[in-house]
């Protein structure tokens, strides 16, 4: 098993390359590039949340409880929360992550169970997509993919570390195939991970539309906010507005 330092180094290098690629080849802003690099780096710790060994769980949960509310600012704005309500939401998210989510990992995951899997990586990516709405859909997908890359780098490293090279011979350790997998031996684990994946995918599928609708409402209830109104709302063709 690759250790904590190896994982974080690899995902940080991958994140730096991904940030560079996004900023200089895909037209992302510097901030998006740096943020994606950071998300990829941190995501390299995520799979070992099931290891119960302390460091990944403690570090990741503290980091996430601080950063997730900041990443959700656009989400809060779309819900038209006041700054006070945003602060309150940040507190609730902190409590939810530090106490509930951590406890769920402590109790319900086994090391190298279904949390170390490709569908788990996909779920985490979709969850990141749901948490961080961005005006530009491209930037939103770009940042979500950063999370998946970090997670996958971890899984790949775990597999590489389970190949043993001794006396000129390659040998597979028993852990081989337990990280980069689509399903495991435990049926309930499989059902649970795929159920979550489909749920998140379903939510994400409808999400962009919901946000568009919220923004549309904002534009029409607060016309002074609207800088540029592209298309008139569809009802105008039946009820023309008298000017
Ligand atoms: Zn691992």
Give the DSSP letter string of the chain. ---HHHHHHHHHHHHHHHHHHHHHHS---HHHHHHHHHHHHHHTTGGGGGG-SSHHHHHHHHHHHHHHHHHTHHHHHHTT--HHHHHHHHHHHHHIIIIIIHHHHHHH--TTSTTSSHHHHHHHHHHHHHH---SSHHHHHHHHHHHHHHHHHHHHHHHHHTEEEETTEEEE-TTTTSSS-S--S-HHHHHHHHHHHHHHHHHHHHHHHHHHHHHHHHHHH-TTT-S---S--GGGGTSPPP-
CA distance 185 to 83: 47
Residue 150: the pLDDT is 96
**Is the pLDDT reported for residue 71 higher than 80?**
yes
Q: pLDDT (tens digit, 9 = 90+) per residue, 185-215?
A: 888 888 988 999 999 999 888 887 777 777 7
User: Helix, strand or coil for residue 135?
Assistant: coil
Q: pLDDT (tens digit, 9 = 90+) per residue, 88-115?
A: 999 999 999 988 988 888 888 887 788 8
For ligand 1, the distance from its centroid to the CA atom of residue 142, given in whole angstroms, is 24
Residue 177: the pLDDT is 72
- Using a pLDDT cut of 70, give the percent of the chain over it: 87
**Average pLDDT in the 37-52 region?**
89
For ligand 1, the distance from its centroid to the CA atom of residue 146, given in whole angstroms, is 18
| Cα dihedral: 39, 45, 46, 47 (round 10) | 140
Q: Where are the domains of the chain?
A: 4-201
Residue 170: the pLDDT is 74
**Is the pLDDT reported for residue 152 higher than 90?**
yes
pTM of the model: 0.80
- Return residues with CB closer than 5 A to ligand 1 (ion): 47-48, 158
For ligand 1, the distance from its centroid to the CA atom of residue 151, given in whole angstroms, is 9
Residue 171 — φ and ψ, nearest 5°?
-135, 140
For ligand 1, the distance from its centroid to the CA atom of residue 153, given in whole angstroms, is 10
CA distance 33 to 27: 9
Q: pLDDT (tens digit, 9 = 90+) per residue, 72-92?
A: 988 888 888 899 999 999 999
Residue 135: the pLDDT is 78
| Contact criterion met (CB below 8 Å) for 114 and 189 | yes
User: Helix, strand or coil for residue 50?
Assistant: helix
For ligand 1, the distance from its centroid to the CA atom of residue 130, given in whole angstroms, is 25
């Amino acid at each position: 098993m690759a250790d904590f330092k190896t994982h974080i180094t690899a995902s940080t290098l991958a994140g730096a390359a991904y940030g560079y690629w996004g900023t200089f080849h895909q037209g992302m802003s510097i901030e998006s590039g740096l943020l994606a690099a950071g998300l990829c780096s941190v995501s390299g710790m995520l799979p070992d949340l099931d290891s119960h060994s302390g460091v990944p769980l403690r570090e990741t949960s503290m980091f996430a409880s601080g950063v997730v509310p900041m990443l959700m600012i656009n989400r809060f704005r779309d819900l038209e929360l006041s700054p006070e309500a945003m602060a309150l939401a940040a507190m609730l998210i902190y409590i939810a992550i530090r106490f509930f989510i951590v406890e769920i990992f402590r109790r319900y995951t086994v090391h190298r169970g279904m949390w170390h899997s490709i569908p788990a990586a996909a779920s985490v990516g979709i969850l990141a997509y749901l948490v961080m709405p961005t005006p530009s859909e491209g930037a939103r997908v770009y940042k979500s993919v950063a999370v998946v890359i970090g997670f996958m780098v971890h899984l790949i490293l775990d597999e590489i570390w389970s190949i043993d090279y001794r006396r000129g011979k390659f040998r597979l350790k028993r852990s081989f195939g337990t990280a980069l997998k689509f399903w495991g031996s435990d049926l309930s684990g499989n059902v649970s991970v795929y159920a979550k994946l489909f749920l998140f995918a379903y939510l994400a599928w409808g999400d962009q539309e919901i946000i568009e609708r919220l923004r549309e409402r904002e534009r029409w209830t607060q016309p002074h906010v609207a800088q540029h109104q592209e298309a008139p709302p569809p009802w105008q063709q039946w009820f023309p507005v008298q000017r």
